[in-house]
Amino acid sequence: MVEPGLHDSEFERIESSLGFLFGDEHRALLAEVLPVGENWPHWRRLSVAEAQKWLGQPTAGIVFDVRENDFWPAAWGQRPSDRSVAEDVARHQLARAPQLVPIWGHRFVPAAPAPVPSPVFSVWGTDVIYYGDNLLDYVAYEFRTGPRQPTRGGPRRVPFWSDLAERT
């Protein structure tokens, strides 16, 4: 199901209350049409607490894997032996990574500033994969709306998230 797209004032309210900016492609899509229903963040009606939960999913999943599954990227340096310290360091490192914004379920695009076109990531804990080279490619793939629309040269890189997706 879809509703009319978001107006500039709605974007301003959402972005100012949540502290991020929609990427250009995501914003253009949501200005045209607002998908609603199960697994879609209903940006027009989400409370700040609900939106923060959506926005916090990638960090929460990675912190869980740091705490419970000994996940630790080499780029973060030596892992602290104390799990609570490791969790604090992980949260600090994740705060430096680009913010991901939910599209549908556990599919995310980077917030602005973001590469254009922006890749779509599937993020489930530390299981991060490219789910579309760009928003049109993602929609075609996920919802079978037509042929895939890959980005020439593959998906654009997004710090940290592309490293996980590429396992580098």
pLDDT tens across 53-104, in order? 999 999 999 999 999 999 999 999 999 999 999 999 999 999 999 999 999 9
User: How far, in Å, CA of 8 to CA of 33, rounded?
Assistant: 13
- Segment holding 18, helix H or strand E: helix 8-18
Edge-to-edge, what's the strand order for the sheet holding 100-104? 100-104, 107-110, 120-124, 127-132
Helix axes 48-69, 83-96, angle to 10 degrees: 130
Predicted confidence (pLDDT) per residue in 97-133, tens digit: 999 999 999 999 999 999 999 999 999 999 999 999 9
Cβ 106 vs Cβ 123: under 8 Å: yes
Instruction: Give the pairing of strands 100-104 and 33-35.
Output: unpaired
14-121-7 Cα angle (round to 5): 25
pLDDT level of residue 168 (50, 70, 90 thresholds): low
Chain segment 131-151, per-residue pLDDT in tens: 999 999 999 999 999 999 899
Stated pTM of the model:
0.94
